[in-house]
Amino acid sequence: MPPRTNHLGLSRNEYKGRPSTLCPGCGHDSISNQLISMAYELGLEQHKIIKVSGIGCSSKTPAYFLGGSHGFNALHGRMPSVVTGALLANTELECIAVSGDGDSGSIGMGQFKHVIRRNVPFIYIIENNGVYGLTKGQFSATADEGQFLKYYGTNHMPPIDLALEAVIAGATFVARSFSGDAKQVQTLLQAAVRHNGTAVLDIISPCVTFNNAETSTKSYPYGKDHEIPLHEIQILAPDYVAAKEEIEIEDYDEGDIIDVEMHDGSFLRLKKLDNDHDPRNKRMALDVLERSMREQIFSTGLIYYEEPRPTLAETEELVETPLAQLDEAQMRPSKAALDGLMRQLTI
Amino acid sequence: MAIHPQTESKIITREPVINDFAFSVATKNGSGSQTSNNVLVRSLFRMGIPVNGKNLFPSNIKGLPTWYTIRASKDGYTARKAVTEIVVAYNDATATEDVSNLPPGGVCITTDKIAKVIKQRDDISYYEIPVTKLMRQTKVPSAFRKLVENMTYVGAVAQLFDIPLELIYQVLLDNFKGREKPARMNHDIVELAYHWTAENIVKTDPYRFENMDGTRGKIMMTGNEAGALGAVFGGVNVVAWYPITPSTSFVDGVIAYRYLRQNDAKENTIAIVQAEDELAAAGIVVGAGWAGGRSLTSTSGPGISLMSEFAGLAYFAEIPAVFWNITRMGPSTGLPTRTSQGDLLFTHFLGHGDGRQICLMPGNLKEAFEFGWKSFDIAEALQTPVFVLSDLDLGMNNWLSDPFDYPDQPINRGKVLDADELQAFIDEHGKWGRYMDVDGDGIPYRTVPGTNHRFAGYFTRGTGHDEMATYSERSDDWIENMTRLRRKMDTARGLLPQPIVDADSDADIGIITFGTNDEAIREARNWLANDDIKTNYLRVKALPMAAAVTDFIDQHKSVFVIENNFDGQLTQLIRLEHPENISHVRSLALGDGLPMTPTWIYENLKLQEG
């Protein structure tokens, strides 16, 4: 039987990258898998995608998905600036960027905040495991206060919550998820692709080697037992929108449904679970994150969403043609222009 | 070897001196003297007198002493003079020292207040301007009074040395972009002081300006503006920067000339991002260069330090981008508003591990413009970062120049494969790998993101890789890659701008330099020639150095390497590249924070040569 293909006629295999060299069972590999599925399911064209990362275990992963796309494994903590430059040079590119909690929460905190402030439109995934893997098990800035690790003892510093930082910096799409919750990661990725602004996904992604004890809030056992999704999320693609009203609302009251219209005309349908969270409300988003951090509640889902403000390229008022594809006439003013200017300057 | 500091002998004269003397204007920073000084320089320029203005300013917004030197030279010399015949002593804090620096027969123009407190000399002319009294006669609103007070010396200078009042008004109008109100307000003061001087001061000095024909067809601007204009003509499309003296006005220049590249709908073809720091600025230009843009950042030493990790990445991953280093005095914060050529070695070897960075060193305005556009062609042809090493002297001071030449070559995007070319490459070579050297020049073929071909994508990384851009820690892959990078740098030697050589076969002495010392050396060589000391000259314009440098060293019995840094960095580089037979190469290195003077070169070269 021939393999299943998407609307481009490509099989899922064609969205894969090289084999992963991360530890077997690493949470990051599940996220790479969801990225492959997302691109396959949506039939994304790989040549229009760039993959950019910083340095660290998480930042190795762009080699393991979308082998047909250009990838750039850049510098520790500096992925956001590279993305900014690339997307200014070519506004037709879509960018999937991968970072880690050390990459974004420590060395790259400045770039993390500033890329959000400029609203560069891309998917900013933080594969958050609370620990430095490649250097063998130091605490990261997202590790819980009081947490114990074998070689480094007890962590006495309070954690930095990167989703909270993203909301404060002005991100218009902020989600938290768990790499063990494949379905939710998949849905959030499909939503993030549709967002025309910086979409931050803080995904708790356990490190099976250095930080997977049951007592760690970044572990598989903890995540599986404690994850509390804020909503059930469903994406209604643009073609379904016409029929939106007819989609059955199963067992929910209408008041428990939040529909968020996305940039491409599709809708995110959030079905409330055991809480009143409305991601369109910034105060509520901050409260949920603050309380989750304080009481160690593992709330996941779309934490915050707002209609995106202009992207950086829009603010720059650039021509429609990608700058990287300008022709000579657009890149070099005429000889008459130079001579005219020179005449103005002479006596 | 003993090097004398920059001083000058003091010569007394009573003969009329026309269009061949220098001013030093001493004021307090932030007192509005920039406008006054600019007006004087521009007025002389419009009188047809070759002139330069050099701003020797402190790292300060308001209050600290600042000096501006203006040199008029009928013979067209525009290097700085350490001793000026005339001082405008408008700063009480430095007046005593300013006056003591004057040569016998010099002139001091000062305020009546300052004149009371400074020690008087009997061998110079004093002209006291009653600034407070004059300002009381004006209708200038008190809020502006302090800012236009310096126009009193413009008026006095105009009267004493014959600059037409009407010309000063025209220059003021230009300065205020045609707005009459501020031009008129300033000119009222100039006029007042002009007439007061005419009625109350008896001129006892021999100095005078006269109209001549030495600047017709010339332009005057700063090197930062010239470089920025060049970049606009070079197709720059992504600019990222972080403010730092003395490079800030470079990006101001791009902003000012961006209109030349807008379409009819006033949409931009140049994105300009003020980054959060120089690290991010470097990341943005590297990201843009990788994605097929023409990207540029402009910075100075401390910023270059922060950019070093990205510079190493771009070198190793082979990404084009242009970095302007408007050099100021280091180490560390150093002398942040003083000129230097002290980043030569640091920039050439920027980044950890092995490797060389391409450097271009403009020596004048025309080259600043030329390297402004050419740097992109070089960066893309070689797929590597290009550093343009300018300095504060060229970057921020007004220089005289012939008008710029339109680029004589079409834009060169280098070896970039589109989808069809990629297929043709694969058909010819069986495969395409990002780092395959099929031409033998060390330069591979690249694709940019967005290329619609299933094999166009590759993975860019700063880690070890083979020619297919695949991760590799194998020693043989590493050595092969580094060997190819070295081959690429050797290709660069022939492709980069070649040195300027002015050699006459019978001279035994060769002078080598780079950058902005050019004018001072030209003048010093003429003085030496008058003493029957013949010299040949080579100015290096790019690193890695061209083969012509070796030939020049071999052809002379005695070679002096003249540069404006403390350690003699070009000399060190020459010693590194030419380990044999260079005992005849000597270093004349300065590095005192000031533009080099011909006197310093003349005296030290004679001293060394014996």
Nearest residue on chain B to A87, alpha-carbon basis: B288
What was the pLDDT predicted at B143? 83
Mean pLDDT of the B17-42 span: 94
List the 27-56 stretch of A: residues with Cβ below 8 A of B. 45-48, 50, 52
pLDDT in tens, B58-101: 888 888 999 999 999 999 999 999 899 999 999 999 999 999 99
State the pLDDT confidence band at A249, using cuts at 50, 70 and 90: very low
Nearest residue on chain B to A82, alpha-carbon basis: B287
Q: Is B448 on the interface with A (CB under 8 A)?
A: yes
Fold equal for B17-208 and B500-609: no
Question: Best of B44, B459, B465 to disrupt the A interface by mutation (most A CBs within 10 Å)?
Answer: B459
CB A25 within 8 A of CB A16: no
H-run or E-run covering B366: helix B365-382
The alpha carbon of B487 is separated from its chain's Cα centroid by a whole number of angstroms, namely: 31
DSSP H helical ranges for A139-260: 162-169, 182-193, 220-226, 238-241
| Whole-number Å distance between alpha carbons of A130 and A140 | 5
Nearest C-alpha neighbor of B384 from the set B318, B440, B469: B318
Alpha-carbon distance A347 to nearest alpha carbon in chain B (angstroms): 6
pLDDT in tens, A143-158: 999 999 888 999 999 9
Q: pLDDT at residue B9 above 60?
A: no
Whether omega before B65 lies within 30 degrees of 0, making that bond cis, reads no
| Whole-number Å distance between alpha carbons of A203 and A127 | 5
**CB proximity list for A293: less than 8 A, separation 6 or greater:** A159, A161, A164
Nearest C-alpha neighbor of A73 from the set A89, A47, A92, A50: A50
Q: pLDDT at residue B610 above 90?
A: no
User: What are the angstrom distances between the C-alpha of B351 and each of B290, B309, B314, B385?
Assistant: 18, 6, 10, 12
User: What are the angstrom distances between the C-alpha of B348 and each of A185, B100, B545?
Assistant: 46, 42, 11
Q: Look at A73 and B237 and tell me if their CB atoms are within 8 Å.
A: no
Alpha-carbon distance A91 to nearest alpha carbon in chain B (angstroms): 10
Q: Spell out a b/e string for A188-206, using b for 16 or more CB atoms within 10 Å of the CB, else e.
A: bbbbbbbbbbbbbbbbbbb
Q: pLDDT at residue B399 above 70?
A: yes
- Residues from chain B that touch A86, judged by Cβ atoms under 8 A, are 287-288, 290-291, 449
If phi > 0 it is left, if psi is from -120 to 50 it is alpha, else beta; for residue A151 that is alpha
DSSP label of B546? P
Question: Best of A64, A82, A95 to disrupt the B interface by mutation (most B CBs within 10 Å)?
Answer: A82
DSSP characters over A19-30:
PP-SPTT-HHHH
Give φ, ψ of B103 to 5 degrees: -75, 160
Q: What is the mean pLDDT of chain A?
A: 93
Positive or negative: CA dihedral B76, B80, B82, B83: positive
Q: What is the CATH number of domain B221-401?
A: 3.40.50.970
State the pLDDT confidence band at A262, using cuts at 50, 70 and 90: confident
Q: Is B560 on the interface with A (CB under 8 A)?
A: no
Question: Best of B229, B272, B290 to disrupt the A interface by mutation (most A CBs within 10 Å)?
Answer: B290
pLDDT in tens, A155-190: 999 999 999 999 999 999 999 999 999 999 999 999
| Whole-number Å distance between alpha carbons of B472 and B137 | 80
Q: Where are the domains of chain B?
A: 17-208, 221-401, 419-495, 500-609
Positive or negative: CA dihedral A287, A293, A299, A300: positive
Q: What is the CATH number of domain B17-208?
A: 3.40.920.10
Q: Is A88 on the interface with B (CB under 8 A)?
A: yes
> pTM here?
0.96
Q: Is B434 on the interface with A (CB under 8 A)?
A: no
Amino acid letter for position B436: M
What was the pLDDT predicted at B578? 86
List the 340-399 stretch of B: residues with Cβ below 8 A of A. 373
CB B76 within 8 A of CB B214: yes
- Give the least confident one: A204-213, B105-114, B472-481, B575-584: B575-584
Report the residue from B215, B313, B449 with minimal CB separation from A75: B313
Nearest C-alpha neighbor of B536 from the set B500, B507, B557: B507
E runs forming strands in B212-293: 219-222, 238-241, 271-274
Angle at B77 (CA atoms; ends B531, B47), nearest 5 degrees: 140
Alpha-carbon distance A118 to nearest alpha carbon in chain B (angstroms): 10
| Whole-number Å distance between alpha carbons of A339 and A344 | 9
What was the pLDDT predicted at B581? 78
Task: Fold for B500-609, please state it.
Answer: Rossmann fold (3.40.50)
pLDDT in tens, A79-134: 999 999 999 999 999 999 999 999 999 999 999 999 999 999 999 999 999 999 99
Is residue B540 helix, strand or coil?
strand
Tell the CATH superfamily of the A12-231+274-314 domain.
Thiamin diphosphate (ThDP)-binding fold, Pyr/PP domains (3.40.50.970)
| Whole-number Å distance between alpha carbons of A39 and A45 | 8
Q: pLDDT at residue B341 above 60?
A: yes
What was the pLDDT predicted at A93? 98
pLDDT in tens, B442-485: 999 999 999 999 999 999 999 999 999 999 999 999 999 999 99
State the pLDDT confidence band at B140, using cuts at 50, 70 and 90: confident
What was the pLDDT predicted at A251? 52
What was the pLDDT predicted at A256? 82
Q: Look at A337 and B260 and tell me if their CB atoms are within 8 Å.
A: yes
Nearest residue on chain B to A90, alpha-carbon basis: B291
Question: Best of A84, A88, A103 to disrupt the B interface by mutation (most B CBs within 10 Å)?
Answer: A88
DSSP label of B294? -
Give φ, ψ of B384 to 5 degrees: -160, 160
- Residues from chain A that touch B456, judged by Cβ atoms under 8 A, are 47, 70
Mean pLDDT of the B283-312 span: 98
Task: Report the share of chain B in percent with pLDDT over 90.
Answer: 91
Q: Look at A85 and B287 and tell me if their CB atoms are within 8 Å.
A: yes
Nearest residue on chain A to B449, alpha-carbon basis: A70
| Whole-number Å distance between alpha carbons of A303 and A342 | 57
State the pLDDT confidence band at B32, using cuts at 50, 70 and 90: confident
Residue B414 has which token pair?
A: 């280098």
CB B556 within 8 A of CB B586: no
Q: Which residue has the tokens 């890695």?
A: B544
List the 254-273 stretch of B: residues with Cβ below 8 A of A. 260-261, 263, 266-273
What was the pLDDT predicted at B61? 85
What was the pLDDT predicted at A250? 52
State the pLDDT confidence band at A264, using cuts at 50, 70 and 90: confident
Q: Look at B403 and A325 and tell me if their CB atoms are within 8 Å.
A: no
DSSP H helical ranges for B458-610: 475-495, 518-530, 547-555, 569-577, 598-609
Q: How many helices (H) and strands (E) does chain A have?
A: 13, 15
Angle at B482 (CA atoms; ends B476, B486), nearest 5 degrees: 140
Nearest residue on chain A to B434, alpha-carbon basis: A70
Mean pLDDT of the A53-72 span: 97
Q: Look at A47 and B451 and tell me if their CB atoms are within 8 Å.
A: yes
Residue B60 has which token pair?
A: 């300060």
Q: pLDDT at residue A241 above 70?
A: no
Mean pLDDT of the B137-145 span: 86
Q: Where are the domains of chain A?
A: 12-231+274-314
Q: Look at A323 and B237 and tell me if their CB atoms are within 8 Å.
A: yes
Positive or negative: CA dihedral A304, A305, A306, A309: positive
Question: Best of A332, A339, A341 to disrupt the B interface by mutation (most B CBs within 10 Å)?
Answer: A332
The size of the A-B interface in CB pairs under 8 A is 232
Report the residue from B216, B233, B271 with minimal CB separation from A333: B233
CB B88 within 8 A of CB B153: yes
- Residues from chain B that touch A337, judged by Cβ atoms under 8 A, are 260
Mean pLDDT of the A58-66 span: 98
List the 115-144 stretch of A: residues with Cβ below 8 A of B. 118
Residue B514 has which token pair?
A: 């780079």
Amino acid letter for position A101: D
Q: Look at B292 and A313 and tell me if their CB atoms are within 8 Å.
A: no
